[in-house]
Chains A and B, each alone.
Chain A
Amino acid sequence: MSDCQSVRAGVLVRELGELERDPILAAHLTSCARCSADVALVRLATAATADMLNEQLPSAHAAELARTAIDRAASWHEARARIWRRASLALPALATAVWVIAVSDRAAPFRSAIGFPDPPYVTTIALQCLSGSDAAGVAGPYLRSGGGTALPGPEGVPSVTLTGERAEVAEAEIAIAKLDGRLGPAAAGACRR
C-alpha cells in the first residue's frame, strides 16, 4: 500500500490527530500536497459543521423555558392526582358491583352469559302425599336448563331430589308443595301417610 493509500485509509476512519502523530504518515503529509489537502478538507469541514451546530442558540429564554417546563410538569402531576382521586372513588363502587354480580341470585343469568355459571343447586324434598316418581314428574318441566334433574328417593323414602338452576328448582319446589298438600287449598286436607 502506498503512503497515499495509507493516508487515505486513515483519513476515512481515524482521528485526524493520530495521522499526524504517526511518523511515517506525518512525513508523507508534509511532502504530499494532495493528501495534506484531503486532511485539511476533512478537518475544515468537520470544524465548520461543529461550529454551525455548536453555535446554534436555543430560541427559548432559560427562565421562560424553566417556567413552562415546571408549569407543564405541575399540570401533569395534578392530572395524575385527579385520576387517582377518581379511581379511589370509583374502586369501592366497582368492588360492590363485582360483589353483587358474584353472589346475587338475580345476576345468575348474567354470570352464565359471561361464562361463569353457578354450580347446580341441589335440594331434597320430603313428600307427604306424592310418591317420589310423581313428584319427579311434576318437577321435570320446571327444570328446563343447565342439566336439571328430578330423582325420586329410594324405595320406602318418600322424597325427590331436585338439581338445577336455583330459580327453576324453586319453581319446581312450589309446584310440588301445592300438589303435596303443603301449600294452597290442598294444605287443609294434607294427606297423612
Chain B
Amino acid sequence: MSLPTLPDSAASLLELARSGDAESLAALIGLMQPKVYRWALGFTADPDDADDVAQEAFVLMYRRLHQYRGDQSFDGWLYQVTRRVASQRRRTGRRRARLAALEDARRELRAYFTDPGARIDRERMVAIIMAHLELLPPRQRELFDLVELQGLTPAEVADLTGANASTIRANLFKARATIRAALLDALPSTTDP
C-alpha cells in the first residue's frame, strides 16, 4: 500500500479521516508517525517498544477519532493517546530492559567525531544522561525530554501535556538538577579554576 497524494494540511487530512476516508487516515498516520514515534521513544527509551507504542497509539487514534472535538490541538490529543498507551504498556510489564536496548541503539549511531576518543566521551555523556533520565519520576522525565531533548517551548509542552506553566517549570528544574549534577559529578572539569 502506498501513501496516496493528499492535501498537505494535516487539518484537511484529519477532516477527511474523520469522515471515514481510509486513504486520508493512512496519510495522516504517515504524517504523524515521526512525532508519535519520538514521543513514544521518550516514554519507553526503547526503539522496539517505541515502534509498538506508536502502532498501538495509531490503532487507538483510529478507534477514537470520532471523539476528537477540536477543543485542543490534534498534536496534543494524539500525544495524550500516545502517553496513555505507553503508560498502559508500562503497567502491564511488557517494557523491556530499556538501557540494554539503548546500548544497541547507540551502536547504530553515526559517528559525530572522527576522533575515536571523542566519540567514546560523547557516548559516555549520553549514557550518563539516559541512565539518570531513567531514574527520574515519569513527569520529570517527560518534561525534560520534551523541553531539553525535543526542544519544545514551554507553551508547546503545555499544549501537549495539559500541564500548567508552574508545573512544567518546577518539574523541569528538578529534572535538570538531577541530570546535570550527575553529569558534572561523573565528568568533572579538569580545568584549574
Closest beta carbon of chain A to B32's beta carbon, Å: 9
Within 8 A of A (CB), among B167-182: 173, 176-177, 180-181
- B contact residues, total (Cβ < 8 Å): 55
Docked-complex contact B30 and A41, CB < 8 angstroms: no
| Bound-state Cα–Cα, A34 to B61, Å | 50
Contact with A along B102-140 (1 / 0, CB 8 A): 000110011010000000001001101110010000000
Q: Which of A11, A46, A72, A77 contacts B149 (CB 8 A)?
A: A46
Docked-complex contact A65 and B177, CB < 8 angstroms: no
| Bound-state Cα–Cα, A14 to B111, Å | 29
Q: Is B74 an interface residue (CB 8 A)?
A: no
Q: Is B98 an interface residue (CB 8 A)?
A: no
Chain A interface residues (CB < 8 Å from chain B): 4, 11-14, 32-34, 37-38, 41-42, 44-46, 48-60, 62-70, 72-73, 76-77
Chain B interface residues (CB < 8 Å from chain A): 1-3, 22, 25-27, 29-30, 33-34, 37-38, 41-42, 47-48, 50-51, 54-55, 58-59, 61-63, 105-106, 109-110, 112, 122, 125-126, 128-130, 133, 145, 148-151, 173, 176-177, 180-181, 183-184, 187, 189, 191-193
* 14 sample A-B contacts, Cβ–Cβ < 8 Å, listed by A number: A11-B184, A13-B180, A37-B189, A37-B191, A45-B183, A53-B145, A53-B149, A59-B47, A59-B48, A62-B30, A65-B30, A66-B27, A66-B29, A73-B62
